[in-house]
Amino acid sequence: MMIPLSYALTLSAILFTLGVVGVLTRRNIIVLLMCVELMLNAVNLSFVAFAHHLESAEGQLYVLFVIAVAAAEAAVGLAIVVALNRSRKTVYADEVSLLKG
Amino acid sequence: MTLALFVVFAVLAVAGAVGVILCKSPIHSAMSLVGTMVALGVIYLLHHAEFIFVVQLMVYAGAVMMLVVFVIMLLDLRAEGEAEGRLTGPKAFGLLLGGLLGALLLVPLAARLTGLTGDMTTDALVRVGSVEFLAGKLFGEYLLPFEIVSLLLLAGLVGAVTIAKKRL
C-alpha cells in the first residue's frame, strides 16, 4: 500500500513552516542553524516522496546533493558561530549588529 | 500498515520539530532535531529510499548533529533568559509570517501531476537493487555534479578550519 503523495507533501509543508517559525522567533544562532537544517529536511522529504511517486531516481539523487550541501553549510555555519563567540562573546543573533546603520 | 507507520512517524517528526523551536536549552533542541531526523529517515524507508535512509542516519543524525552538539558543549551555552519566553512584537510577527507561508505551501496540493514517470520502476529496483540503481545514475549521468559536490565539501572543510582558527 502506497502513502498518498499529499500526505508526505503536507508533512513536508508543516516541517518547513516550523523551521521558518523557528528562524523568525529564536535568537540563538545555533538554534537558527538547526531550524535551517529542519527546512532542508522538509524539502528532502518532498523530493523523496516525488521520487517514489514518479518512479524517478533524480529525486533521490538530489537528496544526496542537498545532504552534502547541508553538511558543508553546517560546518561553515558552526565555524562562524565559534569565531563570533570568540570575538564578541555572544551567540544571540540580535546582539550582533555591527552592520546596523 | 505502511500508512499507519507513516502517521506514527509523521507525528514523531512534527513533535520533534516543535521541540526544536520551543526548547529553551540548545542541547534539548538538538536532541529533538535528532528525533525528527530519525523519524524522517523511517519515512524515507517507507518510500523505498533505503540508501537515503542510511545516509540520513549517518550524515544528518550522526555527523551533522554531532558537530552541533560539540559546538554547543564547546561554547558552554546555558538556556536562554527571560526575554525568550514572552511573546514580543517581532516574535508575533514571525509567527504570523510563518503561518502565512505554511498556508501558501499547502496550495500546490490542489495541483495535478502531468503523469510522466521516470525509469526507477519497482521492476527495475527488484532487478538491480536500489543502491546499485542510484550508483549507476550517480557515477554515470550525474558524475559532474558529484565531482562538484566533492569540491564543495573540500571548500567547506578549508573554510570551516580557516574561520574557526584563532589567528589567521
CB contact under 8 A, A76 and B156: yes
CB contact under 8 A, A17 and B105: yes
> What is the distance between the alpha carbons of residues B168 and B153, in angstroms, rounded to a whole number?
21
Contacts of B114 (CB under 8 A, 6+ apart): none
> What is the distance between the alpha carbons of residues A46 and B98, in angstroms, rounded to a whole number?
19
Contact list, B145 vs chain A (CB under 8 Å): 65
State the pLDDT at residue B89: 79
CB nearest B60 (choices: A11, A15, A67): A67
State the pLDDT at residue B84: 53
- Which value does ipTM take for this structure? 0.91
CB contact under 8 A, A20 and B47: no
Contact list, B84 vs chain A (CB under 8 Å): 26-27
Quickly tell me which residue has 533524480 as its cell: A58
Q: Cβ of B131 under 8 Å from any chain A Cβ?
A: no
How would residue B119 be classed by pLDDT, with cut points 50, 70 and 90?
A: confident
> What is the distance between the alpha carbons of residues B105 and A58, in angstroms, rounded to a whole number?
22
Residue B42, all three cell numbers = 523511517
Give the rounded percent of residues in chain B with a pLDDT score beyond 70: 93
Per-residue pLDDT at B125 exceeds 70: yes
Nearest residue of chain A to residue B55 (CA atoms): A64
Q: pLDDT tens string for chain A (101 positions)? A: 688 888 999 999 999 999 999 999 888 899 999 999 999 999 999 999 999 888 888 889 999 999 999 999 999 999 999 998 888 888 888 888 888 76
> What is the distance between the alpha carbons of residues B49 and A43, in angstroms, rounded to a whole number?
15
On whether the CB atoms of residues B119 and A57 are closer than 8 A, the answer is: yes
Nearest residue of chain A to residue B29 (CA atoms): A31
Per-residue pLDDT at B38 exceeds 70: yes
State the pLDDT at residue A10: 92
β-sheet bridge partners, residue A28: A92
- B19 — alpha (psi -120 to 50), left (phi > 0) or beta? alpha
> What is the distance between the alpha carbons of residues B166 and B168, in angstroms, rounded to a whole number?
7
Per-residue pLDDT at B82 exceeds 70: no
Quickly tell me which residue has 553546517 as its cell: A74
* Positive or negative: CA dihedral B125, B136, A42, B74: positive
Task: Report the SS3 class of residue A17.
Answer: helix
Q: How many Cβ atoms sit within 10 Å of the Cβ of residue A1?
A: 8
> What is the distance between the alpha carbons of residues B11 and B30, in angstroms, rounded to a whole number?
18
Contact list, A44 vs chain B (CB under 8 Å): 40, 52, 56
What is the nearest CA distance from B35 to chain A, expressed in angstroms? 11
Window 45-74 of B, Cβ < 8 Å to A? 46-49, 51-52, 55-56, 59-60, 63-64, 67-68, 71-72, 74
